[in-house]
Structure 1
Amino acid sequence: MKKLWKLLLPALLLLLIPFQSAEAASGNEVVDYSKKFIGVPYSFGGTSPSGFDCSGYLSYVYSHFGISLPRMSSQQATVGTTVSKAELQPGDMVFFADTYKAGVSHAGIYIGNNSFISATSSSGVKIDSMSNVYWSPKFAYGKRLSQVANGLFSDLPTSHPAYEAVELLNSKNIINGFDNGEFKPDGLVTRGQASAIVNRILKVSTSSTKSFPDVGTGSTFAKDIAAMKETGIIQGFPDGSFRPGDSLTRAQMAVILDRAFKTENKVGVTKASNVYLDVAPTSWAADAISALYYLDKTTMFKTDYFRAGFNATRAEFSAAVYNSKF
């Protein structure tokens, strides 16, 4: 019996140890690690820092983050989610076809700025441009691994023009993502949400949460909506309602942020300085809209058309708040 207990004890102890799932590596972490091997010579069949071939190099780099890949590049190309060249993010795998043989025959790691790193037969591990005259026509597709995270949110790559804005606002708890790890950049912003986001910056306190007949005093954004009403930043409709669940148009967004952060004063905007082809200088929101153009640090509003009547997305609102306040 004692002998049997000795055999069972290790297994029982393993069951008692809590399982810990590995956190996803960031794309930038993968890139930083991959660069440690620049200059390592090429070795056909090589899988170590003494010498790599292209697929051996990928296997070695990703294994550092607990990610197991098939041995051959043609097999590695079957793993993950396919992405186009325009969708590539740092840490994605990139595959090339018809190099020394037909079909997928070379693999690398996208490092950003239209560049990738790989183990080449001519120069060992090195960085090349995706626009290289040799590699560009041979690019097949990219592959994204679920174990590699890129940026704060799974659906907001670091290459997104609003990324820096979202990153800052998120760090200050002004705007947050969702429980599933997404930001939903194309989701729409409601009037209630806009009230909360603006008030998280202004921190206007009110003695009462009573504001509009369609906003319950115990509702999620009651205090923020009351603060916006008191300051005149977000007003109600002629029928006395606030409509907290209604989407916010881009024109309304511009005017609200001007009232909150005095954007027109920051750039000295006049109606004569209107910059968008679809916004008349006489428009009720012309000055506030023009201010967003001049304050823009994200490129989100450096366009010919503003689309004032379109509903504002979460990414657009984040960028506009960032430009207006920070």
Structure 2
Amino acid sequence: MSPLASIKTEAASVGESVVAYGKKFIGVPYLFGGTTPSGFDCSGFTQYIYKNVAGISLPRTTGEQYNVGKSVEKSDLQIGDLIFYANTYKKGISHVGIYAGNNQVLNATSSKGITLVSMNDSYWGSKYAGAKRVLAEKASAVTPNWFTDVSKFAVTYQAIKTLTDSKVINGYNDYTFRPDEQVTRGQAAAILNRVLGLSLQSSSKFTDVSAENSFAADIAAIQESGIINGFDDQTFRPYNEMTRNEMAIIIYRAFQSELPTIAAGTMYSDVSSSHWAYKGIIAVAAVDETGFFQKDTFNGSENATREAFTVAIYNAMNAN
């Protein structure tokens, strides 16, 4: 399904949304007493996820969480149920995770941080102590009011909200934005043209862009304006992903008249003034008010993500 599809066409269950958002934090380290994305313990993780996705305030400790909700048989587990373990680091109920479906638990482990663990895991399987359901039985009827994989506390929240509200870029039908997914050249042309509103002045043909391609007019208009060029073999390669360097120079070409004059110098240790995308990289950094691009390196050879592209466009649109 295209990442440019409408977000609000098909409801996902709250349980699925809880798990989708929770998976965003896979790899976050375990921190005893941790309650934030900088580090979680088990109950801090479940408390954070349920609050941000479902608006449910769970108690702070594992033992207290075990006392809420409805007990569920192992054979009747649903995605989003709380899974409890006993006799891990102490006697009695001592650990909690989130059932993710397919016999897996989204679990805050001390060895791997947030990860997926099998219900049959040699260690965790023997510690299983029961499950509780704190979500409504008819969760599928509830519609999330925001993307399940973008925190409202993220530095990129305002950029993503502004551009999705204005339908410059859209989410998926499962209520995810998929910020880490890469952007193709065809998608970039379509997204930019929703902002610029360029009209095609003359016929511009690429051998790999048919008239039936949903982005054909956008690709032709963006190419004609010199923002995204084709290749010497008369192809556009609409399904090729683009790098962060390419993203930067594309943004610079698209919004050059709105961008301020940038003084020489770079904040990035991996970018020199002789770099072919230097002007674009410096412009992207100079107008960034979100903090997303305020890092020591630009990592220009990496693929541009939907999140990075959205923030770069948002910053350029609001440049002073």
TM-score band, normalised by the shorter chain? Answer: 0.5 to 0.7
Counting only pairs closer than 5 Å after superposition, residues 111-130 of structure 1 correspond to structure 2 as: none
Whether 1:259 and 2:253 are equivalent positions in the alignment is yes
Residue in structure 1 matched with residue 276 of structure 2 by the alignment: 284
Counterpart of 1:257 in 2: which secondary structure? helix
* Equivalent residue for 1:178, pick from 141, 164, 172: 172
CA positional deviation for 1:223 = 0.6
Partner of 2:207: 213
| 1:18-40 alpha-carbon deviations (Å, 9 max, x no partner) | xxx996499568886759x9xxx
Q: Give 1:198-277 correspondences, 5 Å limit.
A: 198-207=192-201, 210-262=204-256, 266-270=259-263, 272-277=264-269
8 Å CA contact 2:163, 2:314 repeated in 1 = yes
Match of 1:162 in 2: 156
* Greater share of helix: 1
AA aligned to 1:269 is: I
The answer to which structure, 1 or 2, has the higher relative contact order (CA under 8 A, 6+ apart) is 2
Partner of 1:126 in structure 2?
A: none
CA distance in 1, matches of 2:114, 2:242: 38
Matched, 1:320 2:296: no
Query: 2:101: which partner in 1?
Result: none
> Judging changes above 3 Å, is the alpha-carbon distance between structure 1 residues 240 and 302 closer, same or farther for their aligned structure 2 residues?
same
Look up the equivalent residue of 1:321 and give its one-letter code: I
Aligned partners of 1:209 and 1:222 also within 8 Å:
no
Distance 2:53 2:241 in 1: 39
Distance 1:142 1:217 in 2: 45
CA gap of 1:154–1:269, structure 2 versus 1, over 3 A, is: same
Give the whole-Å Cα distance in 2 for the aligned partners of 1:269 and 1:145: 53
Q: CA deviation at 1:300?
A: 2.1
* Deviating more after overlay: 295-304 vs 143-152: 143-152
Give the structure-2-normalised TM-score.
0.59
| Whole-angstrom CA distance in 2 between matches of 1:280 and 1:184 | 31
Please list, as runs of the form range in 1=range in 2, the aligned pairs for 1:75-86 lying within 5 A after superposition: none
Aligned length: 237
Q: Does the CA contact (< 8 Å) of 2:144 and 2:175 recur in 1? A: no
- Identical aligned pairs, as a percentage? 37
Q: 1:307 aligns with which of 299, 308, 311?
A: 299
Answer yes or no: is the 8 Å Cα contact 1:257–1:321 preserved in 2: yes
| Aligned equivalents of 1:256, 1:102: Cα separation in 2 | 59
Query: In the TM superposition, what is the alpha-carbon distance from 1:256 to its structure 2 partner?
Result: 0.8
Distance change >3 Å, CA 79–CA 320, structure 1 → 2: same
Letter in 2 for 1:215: V
CA separation in 1, counterparts of 2:14 and 2:193?
34
Check 1:96–1:232 CA distance in 2 against 1; reply closer, same or farther (3 A cut). Answer: same
**Structure 1, unpaired ranges of 5+:** 1-20, 38-52, 60-67, 82-91, 108-136
Paired AA for residue 174 in structure 2: N
Contact 2:14–2:144 (CA<8 Å) still a contact in 1?
no
The CA deviation at 1:257 is: 0.8
Q: Deviations over 1:279-324 (max 9, x none)?
A: 1111121121012122223322111111112111111111111111
**How far does residue 253 in structure 1 lie from its aligned partner after superposition?**
0.6
Shift of 1:215: 1.6
Task: Give 5+ residue unaligned stretches, structure 2.
Answer: 1-10, 18-49, 97-109, 117-132
The change in CA–CA distance for 1:205 and 1:142 in structure 2 (over 3 A counts) is same
Summarize the Cα distance change of 1:279–1:178 in structure 2 as closer, same or farther, 3 Å threshold: same
Q: CA deviation at 1:259?
A: 1.2
The answer for the alignment partner of 1:195 in structure 2 is: 189
- 1:168 Cα deviation (Å)? 1.7
Q: Separation in 1 of the partners of 2:212 and 2:184?
A: 18
What is the rounded CA distance, in whole Å, between the counterparts of 2:165 and 2:284 in structure 1?
23
Contact 2:12 2:175 (C-alpha < 8 Å) held by counterparts: no
Is 1:104 aligned with 2:93? Answer: yes
Q: In the alignment, is the contact (CA less than 8 A) between 1:166 and 1:315 conserved in 2?
A: yes
CA 1:209 to 1:280, structure 2 compared with 1: closer, same or farther past 3 Å? same
Cα distance, 1:218 vs structure 2: 2.3
